[in-house]
Amino acid sequence: MNKELEILLQESEEIEKAGLTSRRNLLHRLAHALAPFPGFLGMSTIQAIELDPMIGAADRGCVVVSPAGDLRELVIDLLPGPAVLGGVDHNDSMREIELSEEEMEWYTNQGISILSTLLRERMAG
């Protein structure tokens, strides 16, 4: 196992004690370690990892971790497309998202958990 990845995963297990800035930094580092970054819902055209919404918070749309490790809102617009391709095409974009500190902590912690699990699975398999 790569020593650098091992250290990164150990940090993710102990991160709950760290401040939000340290956790966001770890999220960025985990995202960069997951090369190639996973596709959104198995798609090959969009790289993003969806996060569960925070219960009781305002609707933020589809919050994802981007390949850079940033929290973003993923917007996918379905467009009429050629019938030979199923009749539907899509246009996607990742927009910056305004989050409260509590929401930022929620989504950052979720991202760290998911990305570190994916990294462990890749290293094991």
User: What's the whole-model pTM score?
Assistant: 0.83
Beta carbons of 14 and 24 less than 8 angstroms apart: no
CA distances from 67 to 5, 30, 50, 89 (A): 17, 9, 12, 23
CB atoms within 10 A of CB 70: 16
Task: Give the C-alpha separation, 66 to 48, whole Å.
Answer: 5
Cβ neighbours for 28, distance < 8 A, ≥ 6 positions apart:
68, 69, 70
Query: Residue holding tokens 């850079």?
Result: 68
Least Cα distance to 68 among 34, 118, 20 occurs for 34
On the question of a cis peptide bond just before residue 36, with omega within 30 degrees of 0, the verdict is yes
Tens of pLDDT along the chain (125 residues) come to: 588 888 888 888 877 778 899 999 999 999 999 989 999 888 888 899 999 999 888 889 999 999 999 999 998 766 676 666 666 655 668 899 999 999 999 999 999 999 999 999 988 87
Sheet holding 71-80, edge to edge: 49-50, 62-65, 71-80, 88-95
Report which residue type is found at 31: A
